[in-house]
Amino acid sequence: MIYFVEDDVNIRKLVCYALSKEGYEVKEFSDGSDLKKALEGNIPELVILDIMLPGEDGLEILKGMRNEERYKDIPVIMVTAKDSEYDIVMGLDSGADDYIPKPFGMTEFIARTRAVLRRYEKTKSERDYRIGSLHVDPGKHIVTVAGQEITLSYKEYTLLLALLKAEGKVVNRDTLLTDIWGEFYDESRTLDVHIRKLRVKLGEAGRLIHTIKNVGYRLGGSVYE
Amino acid sequence: MIYFVEDDVNIRKLVCYALSKEGYEVKEFSDGSDLKKALEGNIPELVILDIMLPGEDGLEILKGMRNEERYKDIPVIMVTAKDSEYDIVMGLDSGADDYIPKPFGMTEFIARTRAVLRRYEKTKSERDYRIGSLHVDPGKHIVTVAGQEITLSYKEYTLLLALLKAEGKVVNRDTLLTDIWGEFYDESRTLDVHIRKLRVKLGEAGRLIHTIKNVGYRLGGSVYE
DNA sequence: TAAGAAGCTGAGAGATTTTTGAAAGAAAAC
DNA sequence: GTTTTCTTTCAAAAATCTCTCAGCTTCTTA
């Protein structure tokens, strides 16, 4: 799913048409506040942002996104008529993944979109995780230990996935807390309790979760795992 | 290290100057065959390729790189005077990470370079340290000596990392004290005690930690280490 | 070679951090 | 509206870490 933010109706329709003809699903927005509402519901694979917008401009929206844990990995392409170098530099430095100056040809537009998505796919790749006897299929939402299906609650599952995504690297307590609980819980034992439940439910695979005192937790990654 | 391939001497010098002033190390090449030789010796962090080149052109070089396992993850920026859409599309579709049309301003050039490198850094994992039989993976927080995993406490680990980061250079007692403990501990034996624990836990690799009396400690860096 | 300085060592008290079991509070299912 | 399940809190217990102390060793130099 691609989110496209642009106030000019003609351009919007044109681009959406072209993108969907290429097989992409697109949702269009005319300003930043609409986009924000939509982001709360769903995380798109790519956001294409006009810099010149009524209300909050594209750069500000971008900066806002880069500061929020949930949104900061979404690739963003900036589009604008102001093709002064200054804007390009600002956009790239604020963390845009690419920059397309108006007027643009549709072919170039599509190509850049595809390039950014390709780059993104390379890191993400939706696949199963297998570590020891643990097997998780994120697509199907199924967790298995030694062939036995395990039922996890929502938080437990989210936590497990957060650890899996790190691929054997340590995940900070804070990172987990803010990613899963949203930075409110500071001094609470909530995380520990959930880790424990996970360990228990995972049975023999529970030992894959390592505590790194004063830092966080790590799933797998040891020499023999 | 950035590899920059461009046949026009003036542009080459200009860009190299600008990049090195930004703190990047740059090696310049006037054609593809020179680049290829260099690639065999070293993997750079980024290759910047002119499309128009004597001999093999930039697009072909890029395709060649993308087909070789060793080279296919190196980020590539294409540069060219032909800014027809066709070239852009071709460049991006062959797997270029960005595209800069000539004539370009230096600021934009640098910004795009920085953006691509930043993106790349994000995927590239932190480097491991290997000295003798000691192996430290900072991402996983795992320390191994001769293949055996070693458990270190937080302070021990932090101390080890501080020594490793110095890459064989001596680290002052004071530096260690202030970096790890925060400048309060002046006359205490705390540091000595932790060094000792490290040495003991590291076993045979413990001898890598050298005491430099009156100065501090050094990890590795001796002729045969 | 003796005295002083700097670093090493083993033990252990005190502090910190994590784990745990139980239970209250919320949310979802019935 | 009640039951069930999930989530969070709480406080005690366990595990582990950190730092200090005091005697010992090694090195330096006068």
pLDDT, tens digit, 9 for 90 and up, residues B133-165: 899 998 899 999 998 999 999 999 999 999 998
Task: State phi, psi for A30 to the nearest 5 degrees.
Answer: -100, -15
Q: Judge if the beta carbon of B193 is closer than 7 A to nucleic acid strand D.
A: yes
pLDDT at A118 over 90: no
**Three-state DSSP class for residue A94:** coil
Predicted pLDDT of residue B58: 85
- Average pLDDT on B35-63 reads 87
A224 Cα to chain B: minimum distance (Å): 9
B222 touches chain A (CB under 8 A): no
Predicted pLDDT of residue B63: 87
What span, in angstroms and rounded, lies between the C-alpha atoms of B120 and B75?
7
Structure tokens at A207: 């030992």
Q: Judge if the beta carbon of B201 is closer than 7 A to nucleic acid strand C.
A: no
Predicted TM-score (pTM) above 0.85: no
Structure tokens at A220: 């797998």
Q: Judge if the beta carbon of A214 is closer than 7 A to nucleic acid strand C.
A: yes
> pLDDT for A16-73, tens place per residue?
888 888 888 899 999 988 888 888 777 888 999 988 888 888 888 888 888 776 687 7
pLDDT at A215 over 90: yes
> pLDDT for A120-159, tens place per residue?
776 555 568 888 889 998 877 889 998 889 899 998 999 9
Nearest in space to B1 (alpha carbons), one of B58, B64, B56, B43:
B43
Residue A200's Cβ-count burial label (10 Å; 0-12, 13-18, 19+) is exposed
- Sheet containing A142-145: which strands, arranged edge to edge? A129-131, A134-137, A142-145, A148-150
Predicted pLDDT of residue B189: 86
pLDDT at B22 over 80: yes
Q: What is the crossing angle of helices B106-123 and A106-124, to 10°?
A: 30
Structure tokens at A122: 């390379």
| Contact between B154 and A214 using a beta-carbon 8 Å cutoff | yes
Nearest in space to A12 (alpha carbons), one of A22, A32, A26, A23:
A26
Poorest-pLDDT segment among A187-191, A221-225, B10-14, B28-32: A221-225
Domain spans, chain B: 2-123, 129-219
What span, in angstroms and rounded, lies between the C-alpha atoms of B203 and B199?
6
What rounded mean pLDDT belongs to chain A? 84
What span, in angstroms and rounded, lies between the C-alpha atoms of A113 and B29?
31
B178 touches chain A (CB under 8 A): no
Pick the CATH number of B2-123 from 3.40.50.2300, 3.90.650.10, 3.30.590.10, 3.40.1160.10: 3.40.50.2300
Q: Which residues contact B104 (CB under 8 A, 6 or more apart)?
A: B79
Domain at A153-219: CATH code: 1.10.10.10
Task: State phi, psi for B80 to the nearest 5 degrees.
Answer: -160, 160
pLDDT band per the 50, 70, 90 thresholds, residue B130? confident
- Average pLDDT on A172-191 reads 81
pLDDT at A5 over 90: yes
Are β-strands B134-137 and B129-131 bridged in parallel, bridged antiparallel, or unpaired?
antiparallel
What span, in angstroms and rounded, lies between the C-alpha atoms of A220 and B9?
52
- Average pLDDT on B89-93 reads 63
What architecture does CATH give domain B129-219?
A: Orthogonal Bundle (1.10)
Structure tokens at A130: 């297998």
Residue B70's Cβ-count burial label (10 Å; 0-12, 13-18, 19+) is exposed
Between these two residues, B86 and A210, which has the higher pLDDT value? A210
pLDDT band per the 50, 70, 90 thresholds, residue A163? very high
- Confirm if A83 and A102 have CB atoms less than 8 A apart: yes
Superfamily (CATH) of domain A2-124? Response regulator (3.40.50.2300)
- Average pLDDT on A87-98 reads 72
B148-167 residues near strand D (Cβ < 7 Å): 151, 153-156
Q: In terms of CA atoms, which chain A residue is nearest residue B110?
A: A89
